[in-house]
Amino acid sequence: MLHRTQDTYPLSHFRQHTTEHVQRVKDGAVETITQNGEAAFVVMSPETYDELMNTLFRVHAAERGHIWDDAIEQIEKGDYGRDAREVIHAVADKHGLKL
């Protein structure tokens, strides 16, 4: 569901009209609640949240699948990449970590 600016409400409105907000959210709306003029939190139904998380998971799974496909292709070409220990030490050094 696309977020619309008319789905933005101040916290005071949310407090005074909670039942109305709950009904809109149950009907599928996603609302941004502001505090002192800034976005403070987003309200959505558990179903909308689950759909969002499932979509995000599918997108990341597809990206990971692509990474694995690339890795397999490199291995089939004989390019085995870098030694894992070498990479771990390089990352540790970059972040100032002691192994």
Residue 31 near residue 43, CB atoms below 8 Å? yes
37 lies in which domain range? Answer: 5-44
Based on the structure, what is the number of domains in the chain?
Answer: 2
Burial 81-98 (b: 16+ CB within 10 A, else e): eeeeeeeeeeeeeeeeee
pLDDT tens-digit readout, 20-31 = 999 999 998 999
Q: Are residues 40 and 12 in the same domain?
A: yes
How do residues 31-52 score in pLDDT, each as one tens digit? Answer: 999 999 999 999 999 999 998 8
Q: What percent of the chain has pLDDT over 70?
A: 88
Same domain, 71 and 59: yes
Least confident interval from 46-50, 57-61, 88-92: 57-61
Q: Is the pLDDT of residue 72 over 70?
A: yes
Say yes or no: 84 and 59 in one domain.
Answer: yes
Question: Is residue 78 assigned to a domain?
Answer: yes
**Mean pLDDT computed over every residue of the chain:** 85
Give the CA count within 13 Å in the CB-facing half-sphere of 14: 18
Neighbours of 4 (CB within 10 A): 11
